[in-house]
Amino acid sequence: MKQADISEQYVWRQAWSWLWFVIGLAIVVLIGIFSIAMGSVSIPPLTTFRIIAAQIVSTPIVPDWAPSTAAIVLDIRLPRVLLIAITGAALASSGVAYQGIFRNPLADPYLIGVAAGAGFGAICMVVLRMRYPMLIGQFSLPIGAFVGALATVAIVYVLGRVGTTTPTSTLLLAGVALSTLATSLSTFVLMRAGQQLGLVTAFLLGSYTSTGWAPVTITWPIMAVGFVILMVMARSLNLLLFDEEQARQLGVAVERAKFIVIITATLITAAAVAFSGPIGFVGLIVPHSVRLVAGGDNRRLLPLSALGGASFLMLADLLSRVLVAPEELPLGVVTALAGVPFFLVLLRRAKNAAFF
């Protein structure tokens, strides 16, 4: 961008960004189709694609597959993969938001209590269901996790308030304190309950407790609305990366921006975590990787991270089904196994170049 006209350069850059987004979308769809295709019953990817296309496209496609195959794709695998994609996108975008608000590359969506709160809520629900099985229905676990996550963050926000402002430092401290509290309480409740540990443990490690289309239809609107809100706030997030005073001087209503971003990021994380348990590393790794390629502007970072998160988690899910087939590894374990070496590589690069 030397002495040429700056606006030409920027128009070019915009076009490139859109191109990257479309490519990312295509990759997500491709990974998705392969994810659906693979499993205990292997279905050719092309057939998978046509089964799904037949549902969307109006021109009739003559089915050359068995009805049972279609059932596997449409009723079992497609919703599962969609939920995983949505979860990955939610965790990654929320990671971008948290890293921006806290101006910290180590921030992830669980920083101020979402994971601990979700875990505690889930455990309470499981225990309650043991004692009062008639009261609780199919979605007891997700509801418990969702409410637990939101309640924890709400308390953290109230505790972190100093006068008329909510400094990120006190938010952080309150978040750490409450997370520890929630985790300890969870352990306590678990000990007292004794049985039914399997379900809870699986949840905490990150695996799917619900199947079918219901989780998808519940989470995708939350994710969509949340993402749009974060995109609207993206420019303010850029300014907040400097410091709050500079952001204020540049016209950002800082307290309101922080509130909106944290609430939104928390909501989409809580929704994601409610069905899949707290899956770690996605919210940390994906924003960093995308930042290395696309730079720090949140208006690019958010959509690309969402796509990256969806891809990453779908791939992790693929691995979790394939690595120890016919059994499944919990998703949280796979992301951790992938996450740690990645993190170490990132650390080495960070030492050499400034990238935040």
Partner 1 sequence: MTHLVVEHLHVRYQQHVVLRDINLDASGGQLIGLIGPNGAGKSTLLRAIAGTLTPNAGRVLLDQTDLGAMDANRRARQVAVVPQSPHVPVAFKVAEVVLMGRHPHLPRFGGEQRHDYEVAQQAMQRTDTWGLADRRLGTLSGGELQRVLIARALAQEPRLLLMDEPTAHLDPKHQIATLNLARQLADSGLLVIIAIHDLTLAGQYADRLALLTGELLTYDAPERVLTTEWIRRAYDVAALISPHPHTGTPVVTLLADDPATVV
Name the site residues for partner 1 (rule: CB under 8 A): 1-3, 5-7, 10, 103, 232, 235-236, 238-239, 241-243, 245-246, 248-254, 291, 295-297, 299, 354-356
Of the two residues 114 and 229, which places its CB atom closer to partner 1 in the complex?
A: 229
Q: How far is the CB of 240 from partner 1 (least distance, A)?
A: 10
> In whole angstroms, how large is the CA radius of gyration of the chain?
21
- Written in H, E and C, the secondary structure of 6-55 is HHHHHHHHHHHHHHHHHHHHHHHHHHHHHHHHCCCCCCCHHHHHHHHHHH
Distance CA 8, CA 6 (A): 5
- Closest separation in Å from C-beta 112 to partner 1: 21
Judged by beta carbon, residue 193 or residue 350, the one nearer partner 1 is 350
DSSP label of 248: H
Closer to partner 1 by Cβ: residue 123 or 247: 247
- Residue pair 303/311 in contact by the 8 Å Cβ criterion: no
Q: Which is nearer to partner 1, 9 or 201 (CB)?
A: 9
Q: Where are the beta strands (DSSP E) in the chain?
A: none
Q: How far is CA 168 from the centre of its chain?
A: 22
* Whole-number Å distance between alpha carbons of 173 and 319: 36
Task: Say whether the peptide bond before residue 287 is cis (omega within 30 degrees of 0).
Answer: no
Nearer to partner 1, 197 or 299 (CB): 299
Tokens 């930042």 sit at which residue? Answer: 291
- Picking from 338, 344, 330, the residue whose alpha carbon sits closest to that of residue 309 is 338
Which lies closer to partner 1 via its Cβ, residue 103 or residue 161?
103
Which 3 state secondary structure label does DSSP give 286? helix
CB of 271 to partner 1, least distance (A): 24
Chain-centre distance of CA 235, in angstroms?
Answer: 21
CB of 304 to partner 1, least distance (A): 15
Considering the complex, state which of residue 140 and residue 238 has its C-beta at the smaller distance from partner 1.
238
164 backbone φψ class: left, alpha, beta (φ>0; ψ -120 to 50): alpha
Residue (149 or 346) nearer to partner 1, CB: 346
Name the minimum Å distance from CB 227 to partner 1.
14
Q: Are 269 and 114 in contact (CB under 8 A)?
A: yes
Least distance in angstroms from the C-beta of 41 to partner 1 = 46
Which residue, 8 or 75, has its beta carbon nearer to partner 1?
Answer: 8
d(CA 108, CA 116): 13
Cα 305 to chain centroid distance, Å, stands at 10
Alpha-carbon separation of residue 241 from 100, 245, 271, 290, 294 (angstroms): 6, 11, 26, 17, 16
- Residue 74 Cβ vs partner 1, minimum distance, rounded to whole Å: 37
Smallest distance from partner 1 to CB 353, Å:
8
Collapsed DSSP state (helix, strand, coil) of residue 162: strand
Task: State in angstroms the smallest separation of the CB of 292 from partner 1.
Answer: 10
